[in-house]
Amino acid sequence: MNIGLQDVTSIVNYVCDSRAACSIFSLPFQFDYLKDLGNKFPNIVFSYVTYLHVKDNDPFRHEFFVRIARSFPLLKDLCIYNVRSSLSVDLMTFSSDNCQLYSTIEYSHLTTLDLSCAHREYVEQFLNETKIYMPCLMELLVKLDDLIVVTKNFTRNETRRNCTKVKTLFILPPRLHVEGLCDYFPSLYK
């Protein structure tokens, strides 16, 4: 059996204080699923990955999400697991509608976003259209308290656009009725 030489790369990520995740794979990466990706990953394009789970001990900075958008062009499902803030400034300063510290990132194919195990800062970053634009987002998993704060009790225009096409909303803890939710997520009831 003749096995030719192939390029190989690896990713090591410390996902918590007592656990590391190591992935070793040949290039080009041909799987559609990648789990436990952290802040450090090779500068390659993962052309086939549609599902990505990111997790790290260290906070994710804006540049990380820029790299994710570039490296995973067909990304449809994104799960963010990180409860640490990367902000050196107050969250309300970062979430200010007049504060545009970075250019807008576009995730043009993203349909599912899981922020249920993410710091409120990531909810702010992903739902605020001046920071990240997700034209195809249809499913959102999020903590209710974070959703209420980031959307300013479902009145904030900067977060409305990324929420309008959401057809499936999982909020934690589950609630049957939340005031203002129907108007803010009009596609839930179509």
pLDDT in tens, 10-27: 777 776 667 777 777 777
Alpha-carbon distance of 73 to 82, in angstroms, equals 22
Q: Is residue 94 part of a domain?
A: yes
Number of domains composing the chain: 1
Which pLDDT score, from 0 to 100, does residue 21 have? 74
Instruction: Work out the mean pLDDT of the chain and round it to a whole number.
Output: 87
Residue whose C-alpha is closest to residue 124's, from 169, 72, 167, 162: 162
pLDDT digits (tens, 9 = 90+) for 112-130: 999 999 999 999 999 999 9
Q: Is residue 37 part of a domain?
A: yes
Q: Is residue 2 part of a domain?
A: no
Q: Is residue 25 part of a domain?
A: no
Alpha-carbon distance of 166 to 112, in angstroms, equals 9
pLDDT digits (tens, 9 = 90+) for 138-183: 999 999 999 999 999 999 999 999 999 999 999 999 887 888 898 8
User: In this predicted model, which residue has the larger pLDDT, 79 or 176?
Assistant: 79
Domain span including residue 94: 31-189
pLDDT digits (tens, 9 = 90+) for 52-62: 999 988 899 99
